[in-house]
Amino acid sequence: MKLNSCSDIRKYFIGELEDECFTIDRFGQKTIELMPASFIADDEAIFGTPNKQYIEEEILWYESKSTNIADIKGTIADAPQAWQMTANIHGEINSNYGQLVFSSKYHNQFNRALTELIHNPDSRRAQMVYNRPSIWVEYDEYGKNDFICTNAQTFYIRDGRLDMIVQMRSNDVWAGYRNDRAWAEYLQLKMLKELQNRMIDVEQGFIFWQVMNLHVYSRNFWMVDAYGKHGRNMTKKEYTELNPDSKYL
């Protein structure tokens, strides 16, 4: 059975852009969607390149378990725009992923998954649940707009590998994927180290990515076009120099 890769996902979005197969969102913005998407997350980014410095900052914030975006970079105004749009005026959000998997408030899910794998390496229960039924009344409370994007992550030990399946409610193919994948691999390596420290013979395996709605916004169509025309990721400056008349600028 052939499993899709990041390369296949790129080809899909490039083809949809060429055919102008767009969906119009609630703000009147064009998007390209893939519903559902399932692939091996074999690249750190699908379009664009990872922002290593920001990824490190976000992971440190997740580890802190803070639910205030001011703690990412020091102030609310310095947090990424996507987080500012999610938070209320005080900077509060629901989606600190570290709080969701490491805190006692949410039942120490990472440690429970670890314990499960130690006692039963063949388990199908080593899962960490991010979303929850109560999100329907919590996503917009106190002025927030944060309906958690990750549904669950599950670890499996198979054929001497620690594999991970990530299930997303919604995922932006540009920044969303690259940042969420970095977090997933961080957890995978953390789990791997914990297992190896307990003399469990296992190596890093695959990360499988399952998304209900994988999408790219019109403001980032140029990234898709860049890969379609030039076969690689590039900066917007480079793309503009090579394609000065592009309708995606």
Integer Cα distance of 143 and 140 in angstroms: 6
Nearest CA among 219, 217, 242, 216 for reference residue 229: 242
Location of structure tokens 């793309």: 239
State how beta strands 161-168 and 203-211 pair: parallel
**Catalytic position from the list 6, 37, 117, 149:** 149
149 is catalytic: yes
Supply the residues annotated as catalytic.
149
